[in-house]
Structure 1
Amino acid sequence: MAGKKTKEQVTVALIQMSAAADPEANLAKAVARIGAAAGKGAEIVCLQELFRSRYFPQSEDAKNFRLAETIPGPTTEALSRLARRKRVVIVASVFEKRSAGIYHNTAAVIDADGSIAGKYRKMHIPDDPCYYEKFYFTPGDLGFPCFKTRYAKIGVLVCWDQWFPEAARLAALAGAEILFYPTAIGWLPTEPKAVARAQQAAWELIQRGHAVANGVYVAAANRVGREGKLKFWGNSFVAGPFGEIIARAGSESEAILTARCDLKKVDETRQNWPFLRDRRIDAYGALTARFLDPSTRAPVLPGALARGRPERGGVESRDDKGPVTKSARLSSLESYSEKN
């Protein structure tokens, strides 16, 4: 870790670029763009998803496993040297080879001293036309951590994670002030233009909603250009804690998008809109169910909500004083019955 005290003002940069067939050329381009971003004052730089290659999950081809590498490995070592030289934090999405037969879509967070602050393994893995990621990636197992870097406390989520508010919420609850989303998303040129525009609008809207719901900054770095069947729509953006767009790139061109984030606004926004304060954490246990079928829905025990702890039949819970045992819940239920 490069330093324990984060800043109140931080400049972030998103690298939006097209990808060539040669991974080394893509890495060299990324290094040059990060250097240029640092020259513009950027302190945290985020690359797009799987930046070192073209978006290979458009097809299921075992040859693509050759693109994978370890962390630490060639890509993170090159970026670590750059981070140390330029004194920038780098968020880099890498095709990680964890072990024989186990691969992840991983974002490495490299601190400003060149050390690896940690990594996030993509949790939500899509399997849609031209996004056949389940063939390549094992779902992540590191949760939704917060990385305390030299300049800010950040959370990192990857592409498909964008559509899941639970992921953004958990990263924010872990302490993140800025959520970064390395992304590779686009449309099929054969799709009706109205459908394509609606998809892009929804993509931006839900992430701006994460910013509002959690009182954080959100920064999404997308790729751009035509690759195979997909046309990536770019439009990388940074949104503030009220969901307002601070900066946005175009849909056709490469860009180094920079934005200034005032981290004091995270606290100010949460004071004005105290969503985290008013969460009913005692009432959300059912969110861990796949679906709330009437036949499998667990009842809330009487008095549980009033006491502010998530008591549910047959499930251990915990309050601020420690575990709530099954016997304690039964005692509470008996006491409730006697009084009523």
Structure 2
Amino acid sequence: MSTVTLGLLQHACSADPAANLKKTLALAERAVKRGANLICTQELFRSQYFCQAEKHEYFGLAEPIPGPSTKAFQSFARKHGVVVVASLFEKRAAGLYHNTAVIIDADGKLLGVYRKMHIPDDPLYYEKFYFTPGDTGFRAWDTKFGRIGVLVCWDQWYPEAARLTAMQGAEILFYPTAIGWHPGEKQEHGANQHGAWETIQRSHAVANGCYVAAVNRIGVERPEGGDGIEFWGQSFVAGTSGQILAKASVDQEEILVVPLELGQVDTTRTHWPFLRDRRIDAYENLTRRFID
């Protein structure tokens, strides 16, 4: 199919996982009614962003894959004939947890999973305590509505991840996300932080001649008290030349519905043949940590 329509779900999350799932499914249904056939959730939509503290009780939020959320979205995809990308806290085995996205085709089939490869550890983003780094590698999937790749949040900052996914033919890169400001830093650093986040992802679209869809949450979350995190919303879709095609607000619940012409990927990659001109004979040092 040449023309597809994205439905990106931007919203706030409560402390009730069941309510968050119900809300996300309802938003997805509204996206379908508006014509979306590729639905993507924000990162870890079933809970508030619990990585603001290192607490063993939060492991209780995790679920197996397939599990309740996967099955709910498989049923949804089958009912509406749409593709779904959903971000989950995966319990793979006792003591083994991942930040995982499931990819579900329009017939309800679970095509596979992507486990977040880059795991941050910053103030209020203590993800290394919870998530084992992914072992799926970078992947792309053929769906009813195009060949897609999925990466997760902190992966956004790494051109290598986008490149390796695009090299497998991905026409759209999805980035489920949970990122925001430390309220005390917002005035001084907020504009630069958000600008860097948007710019790096738009650059992935440029460098790879593909579409990029970033889905972020909104609201201030303080599961551990204190200032918490003010999520900056502003979910967006970038075109194959990095241009902003659509962008959500900072603080409003929105369903970003965006039609895409997949044929533009081939046109862009032909006119700007970055993949053709790569000097793969000269890149061996990319596998090193640092060049002394």
Structure 2 SS opposite 1:25: helix
CA displacement, residues 240-297 of structure 1 (integer Å, 9 cap, x when unaligned): 000000000000111000111111110100111100000000100000000001xxxx
Q: What is residue 256 of structure 1 aligned with on the other side?
A: 255
| Match in the other structure for 1:58 | 52
Aligned length: 287
> Partner letter of residue 256 of structure 1?
I
What's the CA shift for 1:235? 0.1
1:12 aligned to 2:6?
A: yes
- Residue in 2 aligned with 1:73? 67
Shift of 1:115: 0.9
Deviates more, 1:238-247 or 1:190-199: 190-199
CA distance in 1, matches of 2:171, 2:184: 39
Q: In the alignment, what sits opposite 2:237?
A: 238
Uncovered stretches (5+) of structure 1, i.e. residues with no partner: 1-6, 294-340
How far did 1:123 drift?
A: 0.0
Query: For residues 72-151 of structure 1, what are the structure 2 equivalents within 5 Å?
Result: 72-151=66-145
Indicate which of 176, 182, 197 corresponds to 1:182.
176
Larger CA Rg, structure 1 vs 2: 1
Instruction: Name stretches of at least 5 consecutive residues in structure 2 with no aligned partner.
Output: 223-227
Query: 1:192 Cα shift?
Result: 4.2
| Counterpart for residue 202 of structure 2 | 208
Offset of 1:194 from its aligned partner?
Answer: 3.7
How many Å separate the matches in 2 of 1:72 and 1:173?
Answer: 28
Structure 2: which amino acid aligns with 1:115?
K
Amino acid at match of 2:8: L
Give the equivalent residue in structure 1 for 2:35: 41
CA distance in 2, matches of 1:244, 1:219: 12
Given the alignment of the two structures, is residue 269 of structure 1 paired with residue 268 of structure 2, yes or no? yes
Normalized against structure 1, the TM-score is what? Answer: 0.84
2:25 to 21, 24, 31: 31
Q: Secondary structure at the match of 1:232?
A: strand
> Could you report, residue by residue, the CA deviation over 1:143-177 in whole angstroms, capped at 9, with x for unpaired residues?
11001111010000000000000000000001100
The percent identity for this pair of structures is 61
Which of 148, 172, 190 is the equivalent residue of 1:154?
148
**CA RMSD of superposed structures (Å):** 0.6
Aligned to 2:164: 170
Q: Give the Cα–Cα distance (whole angstroms) in 2 for the partners of residues 283 and 179 of structure 1.
A: 26
Q: CA-to-partner distance for each residue in 1:32-54, whole Å, 9 max, x for gaps?
A: 00000000100101000000000
**AA aligned opposite 1:105:** N
Match of 2:225 in 1: none
User: Hey, what's the Cα distance between the residues in 2 that align with 1:46 and 1:170?
Assistant: 21
Change in 2 beyond 3 A, CA 1:36/1:192: closer
SS at match of 2:191: helix
**Post-superposition CA distance 1:75-112 (Å, at most 9, x none):** 00011111111111110000001111110000001111
Aligned equivalents of 2:141 and 2:279: distance in 1?
Answer: 26
Instruction: State the shift of 1:13 in Å.
Output: 1.0
3-state SS, counterpart of residue 289 of structure 2? coil
State the secondary structure of the residue aligned to 2:281.
Answer: coil
| Range with bigger deviation, 266-275 or 186-195 | 186-195
Per the normalisation by structure 2, the TM-score is 0.98
Letter aligned with residue 207 of structure 2: A
